[in-house]
Amino acid sequence: MITFEDVTKRYRDGTVAVADLSLEVPTGAITVFVGPSGCGKTTSLRMINRMIDATSGRITLDGQDVREIDPPTLRRGIGYVIQQAGLFPHRKIVDNVATVPYLLGWSKRKARARAMDLLELVGLDPGLAGRYPFQLSGGQQQRVGVARALAADPPVLLMDEPFSAVDPIVRASLQDELLRLQSELRKTIVFVTHDIDEAVKLGDTVAVMRVGGRLAQMAGPATLLTEPADDFVREFLGRDRGIRRLSFISAKEVRLRPAPSDLATDEDGRPLGWRTANGLAAYGTFTPETDSLRAALDAALLSANGTAVAVDEEGRVRGVAGRDAIDELLAEYAPPASGGSGEGSSGDGSSEEAPA
């Protein structure tokens, strides 16, 4: 666990980058620092591995004050992914990934074998190992950056706007990949971004920071969306908070009823459309096991008759859910009355202070 205790960073010219920051970064989860530029999120991140030293306050890593640890030694035990990857242009991909193992004195053979495993882990073709960074696309370089950060299997990973320089489609796939990796690796990840959608998608906990380096709110993404602490957070979260929040509710609990006879299916039981006098009409599908309530609602809205079609992993019809069934679940997950806590899966509610 990483803790910030009254951490302040004041520069010589008097600018305060981070002010009295106190928070806890839980072990094995993704904590996102998000906020507009100048909110001190990157400074906060860099104080963890001492690329920047705090002016006052204390940052501890599993109970030990980071300032008691020699910086290079500290850094070799913490993975770091930088914006634009920051790969070494003169080193082949395999050697880029093996950087920290080399620094730790591993043999070349062992370090490279480890690097090859990691390339595979992050979904890169091992055939790229012998290439130089300039021969890779931005998205591939960023994957190499993640592999490099993981090379010595550090328990903590710091990610500084790692996906902000790639196009939206590549960014989405890198985000999905990170979530997949994290479900296997369970690292303690601190992720910095200015993109609130990215924060809400990736974070188990989201710390919203405001200009001047103050923590505005720290909570689970669903709580953040339903109970923003103040106008700043509300504005920063943007539109459609209610809808976006539905992404955090599983569609598993949607009450299904058997498919009615006017739902046309093919011989394998896959939906074809709603029978009407004028032929087949549009339908929307969702998969209860893996989709969110947002997807179920979306499916209902896409259907000509407002009824969402539930399908299994193979796309076969399992039943249907009308708006009534979706409404039922919506009511169950309605935002609590003021002062109440959020749903079980999210963080500890909102306050200026970090959750204890």
Cβ of residue 149: shortest distance to another protein, in angstroms?
9
Partner residues linked to 144 by β-bridges: none
Which among 37, 51, 46 has a CA at the least distance from the CA of 4?
Answer: 46
Cβ of residue 49: shortest distance to another protein, in angstroms?
6
User: Which residue has 């991909």 as its token pair?
Assistant: 93
Which residues fall within 8 angstroms of residue 200, CB to CB, at 6 or more apart? 206, 221, 224, 225, 244, 247
Which among 88, 128, 94 has a CA at the least distance from the CA of 113?
Answer: 94
Residue closer to another protein, measured from CB, 141 or 285: 141
Which residues fall within 8 angstroms of residue 164, CB to CB, at 6 or more apart? 83, 171, 193, 194, 195
Q: Which of 4, 80, 248, 286 binds another protein (CB under 8 A)?
A: 80
Of residues 105-144, those binding another protein (CB under 8 A): 132-135
Q: Describe the strand order of the beta sheet including 78-81 as a list of residue ranges.
A: 78-81, 156-160, 188-193, 30-34, 205-210, 214-219
Cβ of residue 57: shortest distance to another protein, in angstroms?
21
Q: Which of 58, 76, 241, 318 binds another protein (CB under 8 A)?
A: 76
Q: Are 286 and 311 in contact (CB under 8 A)?
A: yes
Write the interaction track for another protein spanning residues 30-69; mark x where CB under 8 A is met and - where it is not: -------------------x-x------------------
Q: Which of 1, 16, 69, 103 binds another protein (CB under 8 A)?
A: 103
Q: Which of 1, 74, 116, 121 binds another protein (CB under 8 A)?
A: 74
Of residues 143-182, those binding another protein (CB under 8 A): 145, 148, 158
Of residues 83-102, those binding another protein (CB under 8 A): 83-91, 99-100
How many Å apart are CA 183 and CA 188, to the nearest integer? Answer: 12
How many Å apart are CA 344 and CA 216, to the nearest integer? Answer: 22
10 binds another protein (CB under 8 A): no
Residues that bind another protein in the complex, under the rule CB under 8 A: 49, 51, 71-76, 80, 82-91, 99-100, 103, 132-135, 145, 148, 158
